[in-house]
């Protein structure tokens, strides 16, 4: 299992061509989402997200009204106040949680989510490898996009390749 951030980034970069080839393989062989869901659950159980928090440093989180309501109740604020203090508008969708100057989520403090128990649905579901609304299925392109920083995605993708019987000709 690869979890070191530098090694993850290096390997993901090294495997870019291989991952492209795997996208074609998935399409041609109609590799269904079920296998990925099984592998995703296995890898998620083996990785400690609380020791990582890379997604909180690298992704912007879109939130919905349910998220706002939960966070507001937790912080003892009104939803409109949470929206004003902790989010910014995104022309492409719903409001986004603010980022700190470092790029980290506004609620991340020393790798700890300050609102963990009420974190947005997008945070709870990332990296979308197990079955639920918006899960990735076998869309290898969506998966490999996050492999450079997420240990769950990288290791699940590698295991998915192995169990699907993929033998790369490139990207080594």
Q: Is 35 in the site for ligand SF4 (CB under 6 A)?
A: no
Q: Find the binder of ligand SF4 among 8, 26, 31, 55 (CB under 6 A).
A: 55
- CB of 144 within 8 A of CB of 89? no
Instruction: Report in angstroms the alpha-carbon separations of 147 from 16, 20, 24, 66, 150.
Output: 10, 13, 17, 29, 5
Q: Is 98 in the site for ligand SF4 (CB under 6 A)?
A: no
- For residue 12, with 0-12 CB atoms within 10 Å meaning exposed, 13-18 middle and 19 or more buried, which class applies? buried
Closest distance to ligand SF4 from the beta carbon of 149 (Å): 6
Interstrand relation of 108-109 and 87-90 (parallel, antiparallel or unpaired): unpaired
Nearer to ligand SF4 by Cβ, of 18 and 67: the residue is 67
Q: Pick out residues in 147-166 that bind ligand SF4 (CB under 6 A).
A: 149-152
Closest distance to ligand SF4 from the beta carbon of 65 (Å): 16
Tell which residue, 43, 39, 3, has the closest CA to residue 166. 39
Q: Find the binder of ligand SF4 among 41, 53, 99, 121 (CB under 6 A).
A: 53
User: Which residues in 14-123 belong to E strands, given as ranges?
Assistant: 87-90, 93-97, 108-109, 112-113
Tell me the window of 12-20, 24-32, 112-120, 136-144 that interacts with ligand SF4 (CB under 6 A).
Answer: 112-120
- d(C-alpha 58, C-alpha 104), whole Å: 7
Tell me the window of 8-16, 29-37, 114-122, 137-145 that interacts with ligand SF4 (CB under 6 A).
Answer: 114-122
Closest distance to ligand SF4 from the beta carbon of 27 (Å): 25
Residue numbers at the binding site for ligand SF4 (CB under 6 A): 47, 49, 52-56, 61, 97, 105, 107-108, 113, 115, 119-120, 123, 126-127, 149-152
């Amino acid at each position: 299992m690869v979890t070191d951030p530098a090694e993850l980034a290096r390997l993901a970069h090294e495997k870019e061509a291989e991952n492209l080839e795997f996208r074609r393989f998935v399409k041609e062989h109609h590799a269904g989402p079920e296998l990925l869901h099984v592998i995703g659950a296995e890898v998620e159980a083996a990785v400690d997200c609380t020791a990582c928090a890379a997604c909180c440093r690298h992704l912007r989180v879109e939130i919905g009204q349910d998220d706002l309501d939960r966070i507001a109740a937790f912080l003892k604020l009104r939803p409109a106040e949470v929206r004003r203090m902790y989010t910014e508008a995104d022309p492409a969708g719903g409001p986004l949680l603010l980022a700190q100057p470092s790029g980290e989520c506004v609620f991340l403090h020393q790798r700890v989510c300050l609102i963990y128990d009420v974190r947005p649905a997008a945070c709870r579901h990332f990296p979308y490898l197990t079955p639920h609304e918006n899960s990735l299925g076998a869309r290898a392109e969506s998966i490999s996009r996050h492999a450079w920083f997420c240990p769950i995605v990288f290791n699940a993708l590698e295991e998915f390749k192995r169990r699907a019987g993929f033998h790369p000709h490139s990207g080594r």
